[in-house]
Every structure is written in structure tokens, then in C-alpha cells.
Amino acid sequence: MQFRDIGNSGISASAVGLGTWTIGGGTWWGETDDQESVRTIHAALEAGVNLIDTAPLYGWGRSEEVVGKAIKGRRDKVVLSTKCGLWQYDDRGSFFFELEGIKVTKCLRPETIKQEIEMSLKRLETDYIDIYHTHWQAMEPDKTPIAETMECLLKLKEEGKIRSIAVSNCDTNQMDEYLEKGRIDANQPHYSMLFRDIESEILPYCVKNNISILAYSPLEHGLLTGKITMETKLGEDEFRSGTPWYKPENRKRVIDMLNGWKDLTEKYSCSMSQLVIAWTINRPGLTHVLCGARHPGQAADNAKAGGMILSADDTIRMNNDIDGLGVPL
């Protein structure tokens, strides 16, 4: 496993991290077994992963609670990442979406952040968070100035409740405002070989400012694992059903591309997931990837990619194939 610094924080985290959105279950991801989820987290840790990412939104707190149970007695071995800013308890903030009868707003008011950190610490059964992200950025009509949000986060850092300040789903102009008031050490954007929008502005900006990239959804919710076929059925309410690359005409193009790399999986004695993760963590400027897993075998499989290095020729070949896909139809 490769280990890489989180910005200037002094924290070293595994290049492959465990993302825990799916273990929150619910409408987005269906039924999950908490005991199996704990075993999955343990398998990741035993395979060399120390970075675990969660959020209050995942299963309305369930993901944080499961992570808290799993890392009990192992807290000093874990780089724990969670978030604030998606508020679900009253009408404060700007409306974002509604699910399962719960209204979620984007809210980065200092008073709600202070409430969120205490709830997260309780669910995670810890007294500090290593990396604390603003999950989504505030927007009108209840748009808290970034300076006020940052002042609150800096206070939490002074109090020892968080070790580093990070952002997620944040553009360069917003990061400029954060950096005017203090230090941010990481940005968590969506990135995969099918979704490379950050390469134009955000990735170069983060390289210039030594801000680590913790990419979420690098396997595009399973599509890039090689296990999804044209016959794979998705529930109507399942999160993946509404994503463009899962549409039949686009899915076929991706599956055909992956099938063309079977000789590479043989060459590197790896799974398709490992090949894709290895390509991703070796993108220039990209430091960490957050891979979801439902079962111990998946977590262990993903972790092995953290030590893989692809040859220059194979990387160029994959780049050309990916470029050939273009955009989803």
C-alpha cells in the first residue's frame, strides 16, 4: 500500500481509502447488514487501508455508527474522515433534496456545524476527527459566507475536535475564499475514468496549493468493476439507475472497453477493479481514492490496488481507450 500526505496536515493516509456511503443502506443502496459492514471495515484495515470516509448523510447517521463500532479499539490506526453541511434536522439552510420524508438542506452556519460535529463524534465514538469536510457548499438563499464557516472550523481545530479542514464538491473560487482565512488540506470531488471534469481546473489548483484530492466514486458505483453486465438489473429507486453511464447504450460501451483490458488483468494478475483503481491513483496530482465495499472480499480486493504500478505503455493505452469513449449519449 502506498501512503500519501494529506496536504500540510502531517497526516499520512493510504492511497486507497474505504468509502462507506453504501453501508448506510436505505433507499439509495438497499438493505445492508451492519455486522457484515463491520467485517468489511476490518478487512480493509487488515489489508493496509487506514483511511475511512463517512458522513452524517449516509443512512441518516447509520454509516457513522457502524464505522464507530468497527474502529473501537483501533482508533489510533485509523485516519477518520467525515463531513458537515448537509442538514436534516430543521429548516435552516437552503433546500437541496428530500428523501424518505426527510428534507435535506445545504447549511454551513457555525451553529449547525457545532451541532453536527458533536453528533458525529458521538456516533463515531471518538473525541476527534482527522479530516473534516464541508460536504456541499452553502448556496442562496441561506448562503453562509465562507469566512464565517472557516472561522468555525478553525475554532474546532484549535479545540482539538478536528485535525485538518477539508472541502468537498468545491470549486476553485470557493477554495480561494477558504484559503484567504486559513488552511485547507484536502478536497473530495467526484472523479473516475468516466468522470474527469476536475482535470481542467480543480486538479491543477489543488496541486499548486498542496491540497490533497480524495476522489469519490472511482469505480462509478460498480460499473468499472467488470462485474456489471447488460443483464444486471437495478431497482427503480436505486441511485445508480439515474446515472447516464448506466443507461444501456452507454453501459455497453463501457463494458466493451473493460473487456478489451482482460489481457492487462492477466499481465498484472489483478481484478478489473484493481486495474481501474491503480490507473486512478496514479493520475498526476490525484492522491487518494475512496472505494466503496459491501463485503470483506471487496474491501480486500480494492486495497491490493494500492501497491500496483502500471507501465507507461499500458497507461497510455488505457488513456487512449478512455478518451475514445467520449461523453455519455
Cα distance between residue 58 and residue 37, in whole Å: 13
- The burial class, CB within 10 Å (0-12 / 13-18 / 19+), for 256 is exposed
Contacts of 83 (CB under 8 A, 6+ apart): 54, 55, 56, 57, 132, 133, 134, 135, 168
HSE on the CB side for 50, CA within 13 Å? 18
Q: Exposed e or buried b for every residue in 169-192, given b needs 16+ CB within 10 A?
A: bbeeebbeebeebebbbbbbbebb
- Could you say which of 58, 191, 205, 246 is catalytic? 58
Give yes or no: 58 in active site. Answer: yes
* Cβ–Cβ under 8 Å, residues 259 and 170: no
DSSP 13: E
- The residues that are catalytic are 58
